[in-house]
Every structure is written in structure tokens, then in C-alpha cells.
Chains A and B, each alone.
Chain A
Amino acid sequence: MDHESARACFTGYHDGELAEGDRRALEEHLSACADCTAEWDTYRRAVEEVSGLRVIAPSEDFARQVALAIELRGKRRRFGGLSIVGVRVAVLSLVLIMLLLMAYLTYLLLFSSPDAPKPPVDPATKHTHGDVEVIGPVHIDQPPEQKKKP
């Protein structure tokens, strides 16, 4: 086993996860290699230091703070049984419906009454074709001057 392979086995070796063959090979290497033994010793001590850190507890009124947070969150999110998002969607929908209704009523007032103004028609471009009144140029390809010549 070379140095790199030996050091790659440190975690498995420390946690007892190494296969039997690998464990023996590593132990053999460590017994013959001072550098890797020093590395292993530092590794083991570093892990021990982390595992030995004190357990830190939260503040004494932590449970009360959680209860307060739940209560506040509940108040903020609820509004008459609807969530804030629900209220917003409902208000926006109502405004949209009102706008559409107003637009429709305006349209009815302007264009549906008998006295309503009709769009002006240019007499020069008004023609009849059978029973159908056609508005617009008859001969699109010919200029108007050609029609006036006998």
C-alpha cells in the first residue's frame, strides 16, 4: 500500500468501515511508515476534538419563542379564514371583473343605441354590386385617371 492509498483509508479505518484485507494492509503500512503514522495520529486527534465539542443548548425561553412565532405566523397568514394570498387573488379577480364589465357597458352605450354615431363613409369609394353595398376601390390595379378617359 502506498502513502496516498493509506491516507485514503483513514476515514473507513476510524469508523470501522474498512474491509478486513484493507485494514490489515493499512496497519502494515502504518507500522512501517513514520509519515503516515504521524498523519494518522493528527487525523485521529482532529476527529476526537470535533467529537468532544460541548453540546450547546438554546436559550431558556426557546420553547416560548417558538410558540410566539407560531402564533404570530398564524395571525399574519390568516384573514377571516382566508390566507393572505387567497384574499389578494379574490380582490384582484374582483377588480378585473369590474373593469371588464365597465368596458362592456361603455361599448354598449356607444355603438348599440339607434342614435349612436356611425362611422363616416367616403362617397368616392362607395359602390353597389347587386344588392350588396361595397365600400372601397373597385379596380385596385388601375389608377383612377384611366377610368375617366372615354
Chain B
Amino acid sequence: MSPSEEIQFVQSLKARDDRAFEQLIAKFKTPIFNLLYRMTGVREEAEDLAQEVFVTVYKKIGLFRGESPLATWIYRIAYNLCMNRRKYLGRRRDRERQTFDEVAERNIVESGTMSTSAQISRPDEMAEGHQMERLIQDAITALDEEQRVILVLRDVQNVSYEDISEITGLPAGTVKSRLHRARMALKERLAPYLR
């Protein structure tokens, strides 16, 4: 999407165009979910957080000033939610207790079944049993949170140093040093399986 196309697209989002919002979800759901999944290592938690990212985008798109690309802004929302996820998930659980009946009722009426992601056994979830992938994911999850997010953005999401700096608000030097520490820690953990 060219810069001028992105400006038009953001205008449509600000005008509450449902089709534009569907396009936004279609484009960003996988990278955002993948980032959150690699950060948390838990599918349900990642799905909850990813959902919250898009709800926040919907609510706050009016505040987006276009000073950075839309993708960077969305990643920043995901980053902030991820950093505050314990606080957020606690609040969400309280809310869900209040609205659970309503949600369940809607799911049954609209699709005829309960369709929360936790209840569906997906083929890719079954494939997650691959030992090496599990080891790598565990090694990532065991990293310090501040190092982990940099590693996931850089090595899983392939985000540039400059964009990571913009997403996290950290100086480039801090990004590089945290990435180095994260990779070295990961190397130590995975070394027995790589030699």
C-alpha cells in the first residue's frame, strides 16, 4: 500500500467504514497474532490480546495522526498491551464474568455452536507438538520480557531496528544491546540441542 493509499485507507477507518476495518483485520490479524503468540506461548492468551489490539485500533483510530506508518502504530498498540498484559488480562477476566452469558448466547444463536478458539482442535495446534519448535518457544518464553519482545520483533517478525525503536520508544542502542543479550541467552538455552 502506497503512502497516499494508506492515507485514504486511514480516512475510511476514521469514517467507521466497516469494509475498511475488515480489510485491516484481514491484513494484520496474522502478524499481530503471531507476535503475541510468540510473546506469550499460549494461543488463548494471544487470541485475547490480538482481539484487544483490534478493538483498541477501532476505538482510537481517530487519534492516529499519521506520523508513523499504520503498521508501526498497530504494532505499538500490540507492544503496549503485551507489556501490560497481566493487568489487562485480569481486568478482562472480570469483565468476561459479567458478559459471559451474553456472549455465549450470541455464539449459539449465530453459529449454532460454541465457537471460542479454546475449544477447537486445529491441525496447526496439533503440529505444535514438534519437539524443536516447542523447545525454541520455551526458550523464547523463558527470556526476560523486555528482551523477548525485541527478539520476537526482530527475528520472528523481521522488523527493522529503526521500526523496533519506534514501536518500543527505545533508543536504537538499547534495542541492539537487548537483542544481543536475548540472542546470547537463547543460544545458551538451545546449545545442547544445536551441537
A41-B133 Cα distance, complex, nearest whole Å: 19
A17 at interface, CB cutoff 8 A: yes
Complex interface: chain B residues within 8 A of A72 (CB): 99, 102-103
Partner of A58, one of B30, B52, B161: B30
B183 at interface, CB cutoff 8 A: yes
Partner of B34, one of A45, A56, A70: A56
- A residues 46-65 in Cβ contact with B at 8 Å: 46-47, 49-51, 53-59, 61-65
Q: Judge whether A57 and B176 touch: CB under 8 Å.
A: no
Q: Judge whether A11 and B179 touch: CB under 8 Å.
A: yes
Known: A17-B176, A46-B183, A51-B156. A59 touches B117 (CB 8 A): yes
Q: Judge whether A43 and B184 touch: CB under 8 Å.
A: yes
A93 at interface, CB cutoff 8 A: no
B20-59 vs A: 1/0 string, CB under 8 Å? 0010011001110110011000010011001110110010
Number of A-B contacts (CB under 8 A): 117
Count of B interface residues, CB-CB < 8 Å: 53
Q: Which residue of the partner chain B has the closest CB to A59?
A: B117
B186 at interface, CB cutoff 8 A: yes
Q: Judge whether B183 and A10 touch: CB under 8 Å.
A: yes
B172-189 vs A: 1/0 string, CB under 8 Å? 000010011001101100
A68-B47 Cα distance, complex, nearest whole Å: 14
A85 at interface, CB cutoff 8 A: no
Complex interface: chain B residues within 8 A of A17 (CB): 161, 176
Offer 15 A-B interface pairs, CB within 8 angstroms, sorted by A. A7-B184, A11-B183, A42-B191, A46-B183, A46-B187, A50-B156, A55-B34, A56-B124, A57-B34, A58-B117, A59-B117, A62-B50, A63-B26, A65-B51, A66-B55
B binding-site residues for A, Cβ under 8 Å: 22, 25-26, 29-31, 33-34, 37-38, 43, 46-47, 50-52, 54-55, 58, 99, 102-103, 106, 110-111, 115, 117, 120, 122, 124, 127-128, 132-133, 136-137, 140, 151, 155-156, 158, 161, 176, 179-180, 183-184, 186-187, 190-191, 194-195
A binding-site residues for B, Cβ under 8 Å: 7-8, 10-12, 14-15, 17, 38-39, 42-43, 45-47, 49-51, 53-59, 61-66, 68-70, 72-73, 76
A-B pairs with the 9 shortest C-beta distances? A59-B117, A11-B180, A58-B33, A46-B187, A50-B155, A66-B54, A63-B25, A46-B190, A43-B187
